[in-house]
A and B are shown apart, each in its own frame.
Chain A
């Protein structure tokens, strides 16, 4: 992409983006004031929970692994964290079964704790095998 194409694309994207976001805020304004406040609370809550809680936790974990973890363990651990962390968040609604209704047995009808446990066990097993393989390789090198 040459400079001119980038400039045109930026202008078009920026204009469309501002218009779209403005339209969304307009739509939001049609809700009851109480509902708008609650939407605002959830939007702000998402930023606060990520930036103030989740991200610092991951930074601390990363620092711990970088400082204490042996080299052969680092890639397997990063993989396990990147796969299991988001999956755990995605699984919260089904693990908690918060939406379950006594009159509807077809909703949330799987053994989620067992299913989640099976996925975690699988990832831990693969992580362990990968770590052992890397440890042997690193010993052979030295």
Chain B
């Protein structure tokens, strides 16, 4: 066998760079490499898969007409899936950073000289750049969104959705390319033979096991500190949660009545709810609504940002309104808010949600009339739905034919 040639001598800018950039073999830590990358990567992949699946579910739930009928039970379904979505994304931050650390020397591989090898090399680099860029994009935009921070000009929802496909696709492609390396690395023992001892190698250097344990610990601490507010009894641990869970009538607010520009309209004593359907249009006062059959239900407000809070809501079941408007069990219900600005001014309740006895046009929360920031005079609250679709300050309810299944 001949010794590998060191290649051409580079000149000009390439030569200047070649002299100054480090070479992969100059990175000395024994802990880098496939054995660390495969193990951290497996957990990172699992977290990203959970975030992708729960994200797609959330996206489908926010469509006016979901591609398939989504379940209305259990009522906490969306609360759980969206909590998982945010927790998985948060756990992915330390996992991604350690994963990238473990393969960082590869960034400094020198491109091969032969054209075919060079093309493959550049293709792989491009796919890795797309993967890293897309995953970092998803984690950064997701975390900023949960704190309602938008330091960019693109619309968050379509961008986060499109990049989810890019990130997950690039991830699957990456796993396909690296699968033989991963399979081999996972079969190899964790410990480098010459580094013996419980968790201390030669000269006190950390072992792979110590690094992996620190990584799992880091993911756990990040998830607890930001997301534990959603788990009963752990709220105090969530020192970095975007919401303490406090709010008027015990529930936090996403958009206030002031921000929605409805303060004048909801204070108007001549307010009427417009109800339209096959039987025509009619107007209902607050007293009319209270005279209709009432029902109470314990339902969560579960926001896409990951927070959620449960309350006891009371009001008119949506199906009573459907019947009053001359509609039937196959009809959808479109609910429109009085708010003059902001997105999510209306939502469409698919027929299976409109039929659910716990889907309410709520008038009360915790035994009192709704707080203005919770949607006074009335709001929609239905089980297993994203918070943005629980339309507040409702001005109009329209019963429309459901989408044919």
Q: A59-B104, A93-B149 are in contact. Are A14 and B163 (CB under 8 A)?
A: no
Quick check: B211 and A101 within 8 Å, CB to CB? no
Quick check: B146 and A118 within 8 Å, CB to CB? no
B152 contacts A by Cβ under 8 Å: yes
Which residues B282-325 have CB closer than 8 A to chain A? none
Given contacts A17-B173, A109-B243, 20 further A-B contacts (CB under 8 A): A9-B179, A10-B180, A14-B177, A19-B169, A20-B172, A21-B166, A21-B170, A43-B130, A51-B107, A66-B205, A78-B206, A86-B97, A90-B222, A91-B226, A94-B242, A104-B259, A104-B373, A106-B253, A110-B240, A115-B239
Residues of A within 8 A of B244 (CB): 106, 109-110
| Total chain A interface residues with beta-carbon distance under 8 A | 77
A87 contacts B by Cβ under 8 Å: yes
A83 contacts B by Cβ under 8 Å: yes
What is the chain B residue whose CB lies nearest that of A29? B162
Quick check: B149 and A99 within 8 Å, CB to CB? yes
Quick check: B169 and A23 within 8 Å, CB to CB? yes
Quick check: B222 and A72 within 8 Å, CB to CB? no
Interface of B is mostly: helix
Which residues A39-94 have CB closer than 8 A to chain B? 39, 42-44, 46-47, 50-51, 54-55, 58-59, 62, 66, 70-75, 78-79, 82-83, 85-87, 89-94
Quick check: B204 and A87 within 8 Å, CB to CB? no
Quick check: B136 and A93 within 8 Å, CB to CB? no
- List 15 A-B pairs, Cβ < 8 Å: A10-B179, A16-B169, A20-B172, A24-B162, A28-B163, A38-B153, A38-B154, A44-B133, A74-B206, A82-B217, A83-B218, A86-B97, A106-B248, A107-B253, A109-B243
Query: Which A-B residue pairs are the 5 nearest by beta carbons?
Result: A71-B204, A21-B169, A24-B165, A115-B239, A17-B172
Quick check: B107 and A87 within 8 Å, CB to CB? no
Quick check: A21 and B175 within 8 Å, CB to CB? no
Quick check: A39 and B159 within 8 Å, CB to CB? yes
Option from A31, A87, A90, A99 in Cβ contact (under 8 Å) with B148 = A99
Complex Cα distance, B174 from A127, in Å, reads 36
Complex Cα distance, B238 from A118, in Å, reads 12
Option from B150, B153, B206, B256 in Cβ contact (under 8 Å) with A75 = B206
Quick check: B204 and A138 within 8 Å, CB to CB? yes
B interface vs A, CB < 8 Å?
Answer: 27-29, 90, 93-94, 97-98, 100-101, 104, 107, 129-130, 132-134, 136-137, 140-141, 143-144, 146-155, 158-159, 161-177, 179-180, 183, 199-200, 203-206, 210-211, 214-215, 217-218, 221-222, 225-226, 239-244, 246-248, 252-256, 258-259, 373
Complex Cα distance, B359 from A94, in Å, reads 34
Residues of A within 8 A of B221 (CB): 83, 87, 119
Complex Cα distance, B260 from A111, in Å, reads 27
Quick check: B242 and A107 within 8 Å, CB to CB? yes
Nearest CB in chain A: distance from B110 CB, A: 16
Quick check: B168 and A42 within 8 Å, CB to CB? no
Residues of B within 8 A of A134 (CB): 200, 204
A interface vs B, CB < 8 Å?
Answer: 1, 6, 9-11, 13-14, 16-25, 27-28, 30-31, 34-36, 38-39, 42-44, 46-47, 50-51, 54-55, 58-59, 62, 66, 70-75, 78-79, 82-83, 85-87, 89-94, 96-99, 101, 103-104, 106-110, 112, 115-116, 118-119, 134, 138
